[in-house]
Amino acid sequence: MDAITDAVKTGTSTIGITFDGGVVVGADHRATMGHFIANKSVKKLFKISNNVALTTAGLVGHAQSLSRTLAAELRLYELKRSQPMTVRGAATLTANILVGRPHYVQLLIVGTDKDGPSVYSIDSAGGAIPDSYCATGSGSPYMYGVLEDQYKDGMTENQALKVAAKSLLASAQRDAASGNGMDLAVITIDGFKKLSESEVSKLLSNL
C-alpha cells in the first residue's frame, strides 16, 4: 500500500496570503511519481465558489474528488439559503469530510467574506487551523523562508501577489517536486479572479 501511495502522490507548493481587503492564493504545476516528473501542468488551485478557493497537496485523485464535492456542497448551500457559505464554514465542512473519510492530502481553504479574508490549513485527518498566511506541500519550507521575511500585516494586493510569487519561485528553485510555472488568484469581497498567464509573466518579470 505504501509503495502504491508513494507512486501516485504529488510533490507540491501551494500558498495562501491575506492582505488588506482579500487573499492571494497560488500553486505550482508539477506532479511527481517518486523521482519522476509525471506531469508539468497539474491543477492544484480550484475555485470552489465565488468567494472560496481550495489548494491541494497530495494524491491527485483525492484532490480532484474533494474539489468536486466541495463545489457542489457550497452551491447547494447557496441555493438553499440565498447566501454564500462563509470561509470558516467551508473550512469546517472540508474538515468534517476528511474526518469521515481520510484522504492523502494537505489542503488550504482560502477566501473572503463579510468577516474579511481567511486562510485555513487543513490536514488529512480533518484538523483545521486559521492563519494570516500558510504554505503547504514539499516546497513549504522554502516558501516559509520568504514568508517569514517578507509578509507583513496590512499589505496591498500587489504586495501580497509579489510575496506569493517569490515564495513559489523559491520552492521551484530548491524543491525537485515543485515547479513548471504557477497559478495565482485573488479573492476579494467582489469575488474570485485568476491571473492570466500574461499577468503572471508580467508579475514575475517585475520581481
13 close to 138: Cβ distance less than 8 angstroms? yes
Inter-CA distances, 203 with 14, 16, 174, Å? 17, 17, 21
8 close to 60: Cβ distance less than 8 angstroms? yes
Task: Report the candidate in 147, 205, 137, 134 with the shortest Cα–Cα distance to residue 176.
Answer: 137
Q: Could you give all domains of the chain from N- to C-terminal order, each with its CATH number? A: 2-201 (3.60.20.10)
Query: For 43-101, how does the pLDDT look when each residue is reduced to its tens digit (9 = 90+)?
Result: 889 999 999 999 988 777 777 888 999 999 999 999 999 999 999 999 999 998 888 66
pTM of the shown model: 0.88
Which residue in the list 12, 55, 94, 112 is annotated as catalytic? 12
pLDDT < 70: residue spans in the chain: 1-11, 31-41, 100-105, 175-177, 179
Per the listing, cell 477566501 goes with: 111
* Coil vs helix vs strand at 142: helix
86 tagged catalytic: no
Inter-CA distances, 116 with 22, 88, 178, 196, Å? 7, 11, 30, 25
Structure confidence at residue 6 (pLDDT): 39
